[in-house]
Chain A
Amino acid sequence: MRSQLMDKLDHFGDRPAVIHRGVTHSYRDLAGEIRRVEERLAADGVRPHDVVVLNADFSFRSIAALLALYRNRNIVVPVVAFTETTLATVTESCHPRHLLKPDGDDGRGGLTIEAMSGSADGAADAYRPLIEAGAAGLVLLSSGSTGAPKAILHNLDSLVEEKVGTGTRVGAKAPNILMFLLFDHIGGINSLLGVVKVGGTAVVPERRTPDEICSLVETYGIRLLPTSPTFLNLILIGGYHEKFDLGSLRLITYGTEPMPEELLRRVHTALPRIRLLQTFGTSETGISTTTSESSSSTYFKISDENVSYRIVDGELQLKSRTQFMGYLNYPSDSLTEDGWFRTGDLVEENADGYLKVRGRAKEIINVGGEKVLPLELESLLLGSPLIDDCVVYGRPNSITGQSVCVDIKASGPLSRAEARKHVHAFLDGKVEPFKIPTKVQVVEELSVSERFKKRRILP
């Protein structure tokens, strides 16, 4: 597979592989850069199965570095931006030996490799199966809302085999994809491997703002935009789909958080000619191939030979060939005894076997024993012309356990009292009384994570 990857890149030759900062790099350039990095790895004593932290976002050089580390059978820990907690997790749990910065310290210089302090000796038993199989590894850090991120170990050989494959089949017009999802996120890795599979072009954004993304779509005639519901809403609210020509887009995929039905309706109405597809995946099981019932439906099917699913007590459980090998710093209690991964997503299945995500199990609000799912209310509230976006969450109290709260980004001037009256009137008769938010706050901006998920205050 290692040499087959290079054969593939050589085969694609002059096709554009990566467009970054206005410069187009061909597959031939990419192969050349990978070989150059490999020479550096050898010269700097980076041995197979060493753990290497790859500190970068998507760039021509970081993509080459990732593929070179794969070829060198390293265990790669991609980290876009270090925080105190991610640095602690990496040094304490991942046993790193090297820190590789493909774009130098200023993001524009050459590749640097430094020794990394951490408990490098007695490398975790977790890596042993990889070493025995002669495989490369990938460690993804979860974006947990609380506590230290989980360090999720994958067999990188399995991922590459599954997502890139061995063939050199290419469509007449290989797609170009905007690398919206992050380099250290399963969705970003999936996008990248998808590009390499078909000889497509990865267009790398400098900043992930709605105007930059829409401007890149216009400039490069992007056909595929993988994104998140929250980001799509930011595009709509700002009217960026009208300021830029998005006519080249054939497909927008959305994932990483549940899509409110009402928002999907807004997106479909604003961009009627673009196919909208829900993706589904987890850092632990990888991204599954999915089919949406239609562009205006939040029902989807997991149509992936690699993935089986089942629903237990309303929760979706997955088993995939590219399943993670374990956590480096947590017990594997998200796995059932028979090896299914508990996604924490509550789903319902319709008569035709399509699934719909109802929300996250841990986001359920418990009001005196009655259960409220934020997504249901958010979806309804987005139907109000006065509300641009909103987030629903539980607030603890000592009388009913929790009460329902909503933060609203209003489309125009709205006082707290007006917002509360409007929310109550708007939801009256649409939901059971216990679901009607007790507290309504008007906010300037909703808090959005670096992965463009809404931040929900959890109980």
Chain B
Amino acid sequence: MSDRLLELIGNVVADINERRDEKIPTDDLLHVSLYGDSGVFDSMHLVNFLTLVEEAIEDEYDVEISLTSEKAVSRRISPFSGVGRLIEFIEEEMALAGAETGHGSAA
């Protein structure tokens, strides 16, 4: 699944790069840091980015999850420290959403 998610995030980043002067490097996307000292976004752009990812997930998987929740923000290892971490968080949230709607097996 994570390849599909990586591709999905790659598409969102490509979309954002169209309107951005300082392009986000896409050759090693998994290790791009999203927020913080070496992050590519400030807080406002991070919210924009995460909203686009949420929408893409909704379009692709027909499941609604929040990537800007208290849960996301308060993680000891931030899902915004790298795209890889974000994908892990998305997978967890999608499993939970699936479990709640009765489609998945995760509890």
B8 within 8 A of A: no
B73 touches A438 (CB 8 A): no
Residues of B within 8 A of A434 (CB): 44
Q: From B19, B46, B68, B72, name the one whose CB has the most chain A CB atoms within 10 angstroms.
A: B68
A400 touches B47 (CB 8 A): yes
Per-residue interface assignment for chain A, residues 382 to 426, with 1 indicating a CB less than 8 Å from any chain B CB and 0 otherwise = 000000000000000111100100000000000010000000100
Residues of A within 8 A of B43 (CB): 368, 399-400
B51 touches A399 (CB 8 A): no
B44 touches A400 (CB 8 A): yes
> Which residue of A398, A403, A424, A433 contacts B51 across the interface (Cβ within 8 Å)?
A403
Residues of A within 8 A of B64 (CB): none
B48 within 8 A of A: yes
CB distance from B22 to the nearest CB of A (A): 15
B48 touches A438 (CB 8 A): yes
B55 within 8 A of A: yes
A398 touches B44 (CB 8 A): no
A208 within 8 A of B: no
Per-residue interface assignment for chain B, residues 49 to 84, with 1 indicating a CB less than 8 Å from any chain A CB and 0 otherwise = 011000100010000001011101110000000000
With A367-B44, A403-B51, A438-B47 as contacts: A398 and B73 at CB distance below 8 Å: yes
Residues of A within 8 A of B47 (CB): 397, 399-400, 403, 438
A439 within 8 A of B: yes
CB distance from A367 to the nearest CB of B (A): 7
A398 touches B69 (CB 8 A): yes
Query: Which residues of chain B (6-32) have a CB below 8 Å from chain A?
Result: 19
With A403-B51, A416-B55, A438-B51 as contacts: A397 and B68 at CB distance below 8 Å: yes
Q: How many residues of B contact A (CB 8 A)?
A: 17
Residues of A within 8 A of B68 (CB): 397-399, 403
Residues of A within 8 A of B59 (CB): 416
A439 touches B51 (CB 8 A): yes
Residues of B within 8 A of A439 (CB): 51, 55
CB distance from A168 to the nearest CB of B (A): 63
Q: Which residue of B lies closest to A439 (CB)?
A: B51
Q: Which residue of A lies closest to B19 (CB)?
A: A424
CB distance from B93 to the nearest CB of A (A): 14
Once the chains are docked, how many angstroms separate the CA of A433 from the CA of B41?
A: 14
Per-residue interface assignment for chain A, residues 434 to 459, with 1 indicating a CB less than 8 Å from any chain B CB and 0 otherwise = 10001100000000000000000000
Once the chains are docked, how many angstroms separate the CA of A424 from the CA of B18?
A: 13
Q: Which residue of A lies closest to B35 (CB)?
A: A399
Q: From A397, A434, A439, name the one whose CB has the most chain B CB atoms within 10 angstroms.
A: A397
Q: Which residue of B lies closest to A405 (CB)?
A: B51
CB distance from B43 to the nearest CB of A (A): 5
Once the chains are docked, how many angstroms separate the CA of A109 from the CA of B19?
A: 66
Once the chains are docked, how many angstroms separate the CA of A192 from the CA of B21?
A: 60
Once the chains are docked, how many angstroms separate the CA of A434 from the CA of B45?
A: 9
Residues of A within 8 A of B46 (CB): 399
Q: Which residue of B lies closest to A424 (CB)?
A: B19
Once the chains are docked, how many angstroms separate the CA of A434 from the CA of B69?
A: 20
> Which residue of A398, A400, A416, A424 contacts B72 across the interface (Cβ within 8 Å)?
A398
Once the chains are docked, how many angstroms separate the CA of A438 from the CA of B43?
A: 12
Once the chains are docked, how many angstroms separate the CA of A35 from the CA of B43?
A: 68
Once the chains are docked, how many angstroms separate the CA of A397 from the CA of B48?
A: 11
CB distance from B52 to the nearest CB of A (A): 8
CB distance from A421 to the nearest CB of B (A): 9
Residues of B within 8 A of A400 (CB): 43-44, 47
Residues of B within 8 A of A397 (CB): 47, 66, 68-69
Q: Which residue of A lies closest to B18 (CB)?
A: A421
CB distance from A371 to the nearest CB of B (A): 14
CB distance from A366 to the nearest CB of B (A): 12
A433 touches B72 (CB 8 A): no
B19 touches A368 (CB 8 A): no
Could you jot down 30 A-B contacts, CB within 8 Å?
A367-B44, A368-B43, A368-B44, A397-B47, A397-B66, A397-B69, A398-B68, A398-B69, A398-B70, A398-B72, A398-B73, A398-B74, A399-B43, A399-B46, A399-B50, A399-B73, A400-B43, A400-B44, A403-B47, A403-B51, A403-B68, A416-B59, A424-B19, A433-B44, A434-B44, A438-B47, A438-B48, A438-B51, A439-B51, A439-B55
Residues of A within 8 A of B (CB): 367-368, 397-400, 403, 416, 424, 433-434, 438-439
Residues of B within 8 A of A (CB): 19, 43-44, 46-48, 50-51, 55, 59, 66, 68-70, 72-74
Pairs A-B, 3 closest by C-beta atoms: A397-B68, A398-B73, A398-B70
Extra 17 A-B pairs, beta carbons < 8 Å, given A399-B47, A400-B43: A367-B44, A368-B43, A368-B44, A397-B66, A398-B69, A398-B72, A398-B73, A398-B74, A399-B50, A403-B47, A403-B51, A403-B68, A416-B59, A434-B44, A438-B47, A438-B48, A439-B55
